[in-house]
Each structure stands twice: as structure tokens, then as C-alpha cells.
Amino acid sequence: MVLLAALVVIVGWTGVVRAQPTETAVPVDARIQRLQDLHILLGAPDGDLQLERQANGGEFVVLLERVLQHPQLASQRLGTPSSGEEANGWIRAYAWTTGVWNRVLEVRNQIRHVWFGLRYRRVEGSGWGIERSHWMFTSLRDAYLDDGLIDLSFQPMQRISGSEGINMLLTAAGFGGEVGAMKDQMNDPVGDEALRVVCRQHGLDNVMEYAGKPLARRDAALLAWRLLAERTGSD
């Protein structure tokens, strides 16, 4: 007896036999898709995001810097209320003070960039063992000079752990000083408990699921998305 094949085939009017698809592609996580839409998460030339591969530190820094430097996100300003003269006066004073301080920081960063360019000329590469033409270089430079995410001892090609990624995320979100202070108060040399406390204080408890584990590219992307959500006030 001839057994019927489990795979259904459809014979077209041209006589060509075609296999009926038995499964569909797994939909992309909406958070991952958001990062792709903003050109924060980019894959290989063939489109492969390599989400299951363990991330290295440089890749994660690039993701965070693309969030911090994104033109749609970097220039967010506090809105002015539609009513309330006292509130409007406070907002104007705050905006003026913030604007002056931002200009001071901008001048300082420009000086630091000039210093960095003079110290690490093209023929000498950079402080992280990569050439200035490397795709990571600009993000590493900005992370060092502008955002304080790394120092010159940072090794961009080394694999990054989840705890390191969380610590860097908190620094990018403006909470880095709290982690160091909490580690000292808790006598926590490893730092995971300090990370947990700071994350809880700022509503970031869910990122602690990555602590103490290797950080895959998918996890790195989701941490970057969390920074994006923190800056935009979205979920």
C-alpha cells in the first residue's frame, strides 16, 4: 500500500508541483523591530542580526550610543505648560539654566575631542586597540568623551556579561554614580546587589534577569531598548 505523504502538495494548472508551506517565519519582537526602524540595531550585510551570538563590549556601547545620539531623541526638551504664570516662570528659569549648562558642557566636550584627536592620531590608532576607521570607533570615542560610559582601559572586543551591561545601561541613563555609592554602602564588591537596589529605585527591576549571565546580542538589544524607553517615557 502506498502511504500518503504528510506534506501536502499542490499541482498548479501548469503541471508544476509546489510544496505547501508548513510553517511561517517567527515574528520579530516589537522591541527589536523598533530598534531596527530607528537604525539603532543593524545586522550583517545579509540582514542577519545574529541575536543568539554573545555580544562583545564594543557592540553594546555602539547600541547605547546610537540611542543617546539619535537625532529624534537627543534634543528632547521640557514642554511649557499652557497655563499658570508661576509655573511658566519656573520653567523658563529652568530652561535658561539648563541651556547655559548644556553650552558649558558642549564647549568642554569640544575641547576634549580636540585633545583626543591630537593624542591619538590616525597613524597611532586609538586608545582601545582599534583603528580610527573601525566601525566602532566613533561610538567608543563619544562614549568616552561625552557620556562617560567607558575609559581608555575598555576592551571593546571582549565579551560582555549581563551585569556589566546593566551597569553601563544605568550609567547611560544617568544613574551610574548611584551604583558606586551603593556598592560602598553595602560592601558589595561583585556589585549585583547594588545593581538590584538601584534598578528597583528607578523602576528597572526587569533588567536584572540578565545579571550574572553572558549577554547575547538579543539581550544587549533589549537593554538598549530599555534605555530608549527610559528616554522617551514609553513602554
Cell 539648563 found at: 98
Query: In this structure, are residues 215 and 165 in contact, taking their beta carbons and an 8 Å threshold?
Result: yes
Q: What is the pTM of this model?
A: 0.71
The amino acid sitting at 186 is M
Q: Which residues of 218-234 are buried (b: 16+ CB within 10 A; e: fewer)?
A: bbbbbbbbbbbebbeee
Query: In this structure, are residues 49 and 217 in contact, taking their beta carbons and an 8 Å threshold?
Result: yes
pLDDT at 21: 40
- Cα-flanking dihedrals φ and ψ of residue 208, to 5°? -70, -10
C-alpha distances out from residue 127 to 114, 116, 122, Å: 15, 9, 11
pLDDT at 232: 87
Cell 553595602 found at: 186
Cell 540582514 found at: 47
pLDDT at 132: 82
174-184 pLDDT, tens digit per residue, is 998 898 888 88
Low-confidence ranges of the chain (pLDDT < 50): 1-26, 75-83, 123
pLDDT at 215: 96
